[in-house]
Structure 1
Amino acid sequence: MSQNNWISNIAGRRRFLTFILMAIVVLVLAACATPPATPPAAEEAAAASAAVQEYMGTLPLNITSEQRIADVVDANQPALATLSSTGAHVAWVQSDGALWNREGQLCIYTFDTGTTVCVDGPETYEGYPYDLAWSPDDTMIAFSENPIQLAYESDIWVYDVAAQTFTDLTDDGVTGGYTGLEAGTYALDYFPMWTADGRINFWR
């Protein structure tokens, strides 16, 4: 092989090696600059975890400044605690007995004054409320007997906060348990929901 050909081969190999090295350097730099992609499943799991932490940590347990409802109203087990529509009050049922089968007073705590007012339920009302629902203007609370856990014939009741009076809106003359009653002789009215204009929708 002539000296010129030998020099040409050496130069070609050097150019080839240089090209390979440059390609490796580019790949290494790209890998360092781009963080590893998070798998979609991991992202979804992280989002779900954050949502659960937010729900458990702030929504049902805290009212203001991350205080527990029980601490704010100074009550033990404020069952069915429900914040009013304007955020000015919180209502709950306070009593002794099993959490799912208790009878007790309807209590309302007012944040501005720090006072609590509790009233006994109506005489014809039986069992434990299925839920509490504030009216849009905070003047009334709708609720019903519990037809699910307690199997009580349920009506839609309304409590007037200012007058401290109870009214049965769907009284059908039937009270107590409905097990064994003939179909069509009673109606189960429960789960009241207020509309923006102050009407009540409910399940029957």
Structure 2
Amino acid sequence: MNCRICGAPLPEGAMFCGECGSSTSATPESRRPVDPRPGDTYVIHRSESGVLSVPLDDVDAAPTVAEGGPAAEVASPAEVATDGAGGDAATAAAPALDDGPAAAAPGARFVLTFTTGEVVTVQGTGLVGRKPLAEPGEAFDHLVQIVDRGLSVSKTHLEFGEHEGGLWIADRFSANGTVVRRPGEHAVRCEPGRRMLVPRGSRVEIGEQAFTVA
């Protein structure tokens, strides 16, 4: 019998590994640290004056399925209005929230093409990973599961949603992180728990895998 953590040989009847100290019942999965899940934090905008972080504390992050309509037709997140003037970041950091009829407009569809072979059309919100799982109290329109035999992609690697007709992603504290390559721009590593807009044509790298947005 060998230790399932370090592989060292174990004597018959051993309860702990003499090499690493692990219990003989421990497995790599049981030793994996708990994956903290972020709440709603920010949408990151691109603007002429730079990158602005816009609080979304009062915005419902889980669009609801339109009553009587197909499951894919969901309401987009509430519009976030920003000051049109190219002022400083302090002025733009507290925009007004528009709760009017525009919030009920149907969302756009996006095609995610993965290097693992999966091609998925999404609309609304979702999770991406090897075995994505929503936390208690969360609701998503899509759970996009991909095959990654190298295990570089976390079980729940990232979250996505819509904002003003665009797609955003947020790294869910994944083990290997998320990198966004927008068309014509340098690569940007996502800060876990913060939303980042990914325009069509962008490439999102998750561990050793990636997907493009169209």
TM interval, shorter chain, is under 0.3
**Structure number having the greater helix percentage:** 1
Higher relative contact order (CA 8 A, sep 6+): 2
Larger radius of gyration: 1
> TM-score if structure 1 supplies the norm length?
0.27
**Structure number having the greater strand percentage:** 2
> TM-score if structure 2 supplies the norm length?
0.26
